[in-house]
């Protein structure tokens, strides 16, 4: 019996020599949230590292091509669900994932699978941007939202938004409110809290770390705003209360 066909118990599998650590959770969630936000430019930057060469891919099969296909299916499922959370209709999102999974299943090389993966990520991101833009009308508000979604890890200042849109503070505030039904400050906060919920739900990073990552001035302020927007504290949300 050769090494590949030898069967091992689950405990032996757990105690095996691990050839590569699994990918860090935060970058994975950042990638899915970037697609969900429709940030096409950032998705393209993140895809510079080929899918099949990504550090920390677990070993799900001893066959290299089958292993990458398994990871492709996981990635497709995560992206589909993230985009549904972001406003894509469930049938559309799952139809897209079915299409790309079927394409992956027919692929015969790792390089081809990587190309299909990149095409899928770009397609989802482009569709999410389109969905976001369809909710509004003017290019100025589109540019404002694009900037906000790309800089949730920073303290976004009104003067910066005025610079990127070329509008005065008063006019931009009125235009944004008319077209979105929300003030700029409320929109920024809602997107930060939405991202915080995802991080609390899908990671075990400390609440203080999440607060800092989203550029809140303090953990106490983050907790106060989160409780106001969500009805529970960050800890209660994470605990499922």
Q: What is the pLDDT of residue 2?
A: 44
* Predicted model pTM: 0.54
DSSP string, 160-190: HHHHHHT--HHHHHHHHHHHHSS-HHHHHHH
* Average pLDDT estimate for 110-139: 88
What rounded mean pLDDT belongs to the chain? 85
pLDDT tens, 196-239? 988 888 778 899 999 999 999 999 999 999 999 999 999 999 98
3-class secondary structure, 163: helix
CB 68 within 8 A of CB 58: no
Q: What is the pLDDT of residue 13?
A: 44
* Average pLDDT estimate for 66-89: 90
Per-residue tokens: 78: 């995560």
Q: What is the pLDDT of residue 234?
A: 96
C-alpha–C-alpha distance, residues 146 and 163, integer Å: 13
C-alpha–C-alpha distance, residues 120 and 128, integer Å: 12
132 has pLDDT over 60: yes
pLDDT, greater one: 222 or 49: 222
Q: What is the pLDDT of residue 29?
A: 79
Per-residue tokens: 28: 């994975």
pLDDT tens, 13-24? 445 444 444 444
pLDDT, greater one: 127 or 7: 127
């Amino acid at each position: 019996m050769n090494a590949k066909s030898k069967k091992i118990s689950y405990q032996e599998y757990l105690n095996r020599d691990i050839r590569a650590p699994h990918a860090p959770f935060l970058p994975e969630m950042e990638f899915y949230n970037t697609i969900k936000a429709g940030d096409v430019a950032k998705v393209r930057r993140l895809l510079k590292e080929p899918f099949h060469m990504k550090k920390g891919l677990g070993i799900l099969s001893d066959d290299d091509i089958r292993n990458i296909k398994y990871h492709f299916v996981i990635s497709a499922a995560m992206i589909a669900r993230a985009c549904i959370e972001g406003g894509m209709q469930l049938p559309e999102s799952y139809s897209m994932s079915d299409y790309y999974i079927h394409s992956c299943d027919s692929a015969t090389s790792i390089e081809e699978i990587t190309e299909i993966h990149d095409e899928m990520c770009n397609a989802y991101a482009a569709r999410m941007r389109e969905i976001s833009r369809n909710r509004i009308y003017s290019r100025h508000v589109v540019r404002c939202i694009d900037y906000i979604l790309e800089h949730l890890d920073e303290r976004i200042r009104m003067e910066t938004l005025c610079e990127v849109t070329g509008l005065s503070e008063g006019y931009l505030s009125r235009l944004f409110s008319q077209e979105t039904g929300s003030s700029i400050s409320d929109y920024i906060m809602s997107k930060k809290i939405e991202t915080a919920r995802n991080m609390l739900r899908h990671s075990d990073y400390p609440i203080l770390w999440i607060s800092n990552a989203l550029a809140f001035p303090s953990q106490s302020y983050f907790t106060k705003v989160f409780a106001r927007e969500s009805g529970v504290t960050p800890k209660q949300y994470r605990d499922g209360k």
